[in-house]
Amino acid sequence: MNAKKPLVIVTRKLPDVIETRMMELFETRLNLEDTPMSQAELSAAVAEADVLVPTVTDRIDSKILSQAGDNLKLIASFGTGIDHIDFAAAKKRNITVTNTPGVLTEDTADMTMALILAVPRRLSEGERLVRAEKWDGWGPTLMLGHRIWGKRLGIVGMGRIGQAVAHRARGFGLSIHYHNRQRVHPETESELEATYWESLDQMLAHMDIISINCPHTPATFHLLSERRLKLVKPHAYIVNTSRGEVIDEKALTRMLASGEIAGAGLDVFEHEPAVNPKLLNLENVVLLPHMGSATLEGRLDMGEKVIVNIKTFADGHTPPDRVLETMF
Ligand code: 8YV
């Protein structure tokens, strides 16, 4: 990148302080209206920018990247997941990709825990009852849910967020089980008193609550396929704060409706923002609009990471959050 300030195109509205700092440091083009860019607008942006700052709502596929100008050298994504970017196509064009790992771990783990509590204890149902003015007083059998304490939690993906969920879940008396590509460090395992399951199939068949905390990659697309969902116990709950694509949403919806799975807490959807209409009619699900990391503090931290990544890169160094092929 040359000595003049890089042209940074930001696809969505970011917190004011982040936008201001970006304006100070770079030649920055903001999206104040916050209207998601069309594929044509994205193509125009990559053709012009030195640095693109996309979010999860921008699909940076090989078609878009084929329109990239020679000066596009960095995609500094505002977010941790990078499944919206065709990493191989970017690499082929010698474009560095960065993300914002670490800073949304605690917030996403909190939201996961909130769903782990909300689904078995029927929080949304209870709230709907009150708001509909249909609650006519306490009753011994009213809104009975299921106890959290003493149940088995199966975490699919024991990275930063999975481990942060495990720490919280222990405080609620859940026993920790996990499946991960690699077994975690023995010290972490013993600290969490976590049981490792090499076989995801076997773990799913033995859990009371299942939490999805792995990234969406080609290897994890429909990891919870219809076949695997059939292994889940009928009294079990599934919580997903990762990516909708990790679960076969159609199969899950069918099984939630038929009672083959007791309930689900979903913060993410396979075709978001579209949500399977059949899910909307189910009482045993809690549905959230991808807000796992939506805290002001988190968004500021993410923005700061984006700035550091761009600045470091522009200064000729390897940005701290460079995405590597080995991460997939
Ligand atoms: C972010 C997320 O809000 O960072 C991620 O991977 O899923 C979200 O929590 C979003 O990606 C911002 O681009």
Domain harbouring 308, CATH code: 3.40.50.720
Selection from 162, 98, 112 nearest residue 304 by Cα: 98
Does residue 2 lie within any of the structural domains? no
Give the tens place of pLDDT for each residue, 107-119: 999 999 999 999 9
Does residue 275 lie within any of the structural domains? yes
pLDDT for residue 78: 98
Number of domains present in the structure of the chain: 2
> Does 297 qualify as catalytic in the annotation?
no
CA-proximal residue: ligand 1, atom 11 (nearest):
79
> Does 270 qualify as catalytic in the annotation?
no
Selection from 45, 12, 56 nearest residue 31 by Cα: 12
pLDDT for residue 328: 65
pLDDT for residue 64: 97
- CA 78 to chain centroid, in Å, comes to 12
Q: Are 95 and 130 part of one and the same domain?
A: no
Which residue ranges have their beta carbon within 6 Å of ligand 1? Answer: 55-56, 78-81, 104, 292-293
Q: Are 257 and 127 part of one and the same domain?
A: yes
The residue from 12, 179, 243, 299 that is catalytic is 243
**Residues of the chain scoring pLDDT < 70:** 1-3, 327-328
Q: List the domain range (segments joined by +) for residue 22.
A: 7-103+295-327
Burial of 257 (0-12, 13-18, 19+ CB in 10 A): middle
Q: Are 133 and 232 part of one and the same domain?
A: yes
Contact (CB, 8 A) for 196 and 156: no
How far is it, in rounded angstroms, from Cα 172 to Cα 195? 17
Q: What percent of the chain has pLDDT over 70?
A: 98
